[in-house]
């Protein structure tokens, strides 16, 4: 690998890992938001029934 190849590989690793982490965080937030909304609906229905 040329000198520049190592530079690009290092930049790729740096931004690849950051991008992966941001994606994981985004998916996690989406899942939690959906879960919260579903629970909120169920909670409201339970209250109405009571």
Partner 1 sequence: MKDPLSLPGRRWLPLLSVASAVTMMAALYAALLYAPTEQSMGDVQRVFYFHLASAWVGFLAFFVAFALGWRHLARPDWRLDAWAAASVEIGVLFCAIVLLSGSLWARPIWNTWWTWDPRLTTTLVLWVYYAGVLALRGSVDEPETRARYTAVLSIIGFINVPLVFMAIRWWRTIHPVILDARGMHLEPAMLVALVAALVAFTLLYITLCLAQVRAAYLRQRVEALQGQMEDRLEKRMARRPGQGAA
The residue ranges that bind partner 1 (CB under 8 A) are 1, 3-4, 6-7, 9-11, 13-14, 17-18, 21-22, 25, 28-29, 32-33, 35-36, 39-40, 42-43, 46, 50
| Nearest distance from C-beta of residue 26 to partner 1, angstroms | 8
| Nearest distance from C-beta of residue 6 to partner 1, angstroms | 5
Instruction: Tell me if 33 sits within 8 A of 41, measured CB to CB.
Output: no
DSSP string, 1-50: --HHHHHHHHHHHHHHHHHHHHHHHHHHHHHHHHHHHHHHHHHHHHHHH-
| Nearest distance from C-beta of residue 47 to partner 1, angstroms | 8
């Amino acid at each position: 690998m040329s000198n520049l190849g190592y530079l690009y590989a290092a930049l790729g690793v740096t931004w690849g890992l950051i991008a992966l982490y941001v994606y994981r965080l985004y998916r996690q937030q989406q899942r939690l938001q959906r879960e919260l909304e579903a629970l909120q609906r169920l909670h409201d229905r339970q209250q109405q029934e009571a």
